[in-house]
Amino acid sequence: MITETDVAQLLRDSGQLLEDWDAGTELALDSLTFVWLVHLLDERHGIVVGPEDEDELAASDTIGSLHRNLVRLLPDGAGGASAASGTEARHAS
């Protein structure tokens, strides 16, 4: 299971400057940030991003779309409550 909060933390740890965010917060992932994000997904959440999934993930333009794309990669489709409900809460770090 991975939540939008987990995704935001991974993005921060990958070098994205996020303070206040919600599912609609826009992303601009450069190649180095993307590679580090993929590494952290595997290391911390056991989510392996295969070559066939990289383009879709890299094209994610918001935290919410990145989260939805990651949920699709999970074997059981479990992505947390925000994925199921579609709610958009605003978060501050």
As a whole number of angstroms, the distance between CA 17 and CA 76 comes to 31
- pTM value? 0.77
User: What is the sign, positive or negative, of the torsion defined by CA atoms of 74, 3, 1, 35?
Assistant: positive
* Predicted pLDDT of residue 80: 46
* Predicted pLDDT of residue 81: 41
Ranges of the chain with pLDDT below 70:
76-93
